[in-house]
Structure 1
Amino acid sequence: MSEIQHTEKEKSFQQQVWETLSTINVNEKIEKKNGLSYLSWAWAWGVLMAQAHYPESYYTIDTVSYNNDGSAMVSLTLTVKQGDNEFPRKMWLPMMDYRNQAISNPNAVDINKILMRCLTKAISMFGLWFYIYAGEDLPEQEKIIIQKEIAQQKERYDQLIRDLKTAAKSGVESMKMHWQQLTPEETDIIGEENKMAIYRHIAMKNEAHHEAENERVVSGKTGESHRQQFTQGLIKWQGNNPTKLPHAVSL
């Protein structure tokens, strides 16, 4: 196999690992201490070792590096492996206490604890719980799925509202029949408040329509009364002045 082919295969495996681990939701496993988020190294390692993931993976611990002020730095190399495919990533972490302050002259217990934290951080470099380090609430893939679900729910809500309004245009009885045909889930999506708002809108339109009809009827009666008075006046005037009505007058 050529070097180029090997590189392409290695990159493909790296992408596969990242896409697999970065989409896992770890929110329920996160612990909060002093405002910081922690993930159990045992749980993180268990995920990596799962049969569906990369149980052949392994890590090597480097020698602890001490500074002149007595502080220290640990580091390790984690290699994710699956069959013939594998690739390493190195991670380091200073010796710190629970306040994330440097520890001087750490003992064996301190070193052991920080090494496990370093291992968890190394696992994140392959994708698992990386979104927590990035300050996100959910993995990117899960956010995309949720956004799609929200869009679908909104589309369904809008359609249900449109259908109810269409039924309402034919009157209250039509709206009631349509409402009775909806499933409990659909009525919950629409909501009682929205239903009553549409109902009130219909009632107001009907009331306005009836008022307009009444005004038209009253106006018609008034007009008829005026015409009768005008006709009577003309007849009376004709009686006093026996002349035919002009052709321009139309009763």
Structure 2
Amino acid sequence: MHGSFPDVTLAQQPSTPPSPPAIDGDDHPTRVLIVEDHRVVAEGLAALINHQTDMKVVGTVGTVAECIPAAAELNPDVVLLDFRLPDGAGPDAADAIRGIRPAAKMIFLTREDTDAARFAAVQSGASAFLHKSKAASEVVAAIRDVARGKMLITPRTIATLLTKRRSIEAQLERLTPREKEVLTLMAEGYPSRAIAAELGISYTTIRTHIRSLGSKLAVHSKLEAIVKARELGLIN
């Protein structure tokens, strides 16, 4: 899945718009740090960015742990992050970087396409949230805009995410800890008897929990359980 992105970006490099002149008398190129654990994706992004005259990649790292010393040493203007990393999530990396480089701007470039991911990005102070299917020119334009202080996540989007988040929190509050465990195991593909064995309770009790989940969340099948568990943030 990830491998398709650099092919797209590299193929479209010649069509990216020419780099605009520096603004406000500042002629230094925008310094970009890439936080991406898939090397082929990181290399494709670096080639795309370094093709521009008004920006350059100052470093590429693949973990949350690596991004902290890299940000401290390299002082990036913009950080381009994937959402999922081997030792944590992109928002964890963003929080860590902002702790030592508060002026750095964050752009999430990811295949994650959930409201939970967008909300986490907003909470971490992201200026943009882009899907990896975006064209190369859009990625370059986003880096350019964010470097100039533009917020690409609109207030309306943030308000919508907050409303959905409150709805999710209300649904979670209706569930007991045991029901959350049952829903998570349902979403992971466990049949009812296996859930009972995993949790050390009777099959009859599991059926009671499943009926309760059906009543509270309209969850009646494995597919519905997966969708709802992802929506509630119980599984990735």
Same fold (TM over 0.5): no
TM range (shorter): under 0.3
TM-score by length of 2: 0.19
The alignment's TM-score, normalised by the length of structure 1, stands at 0.19
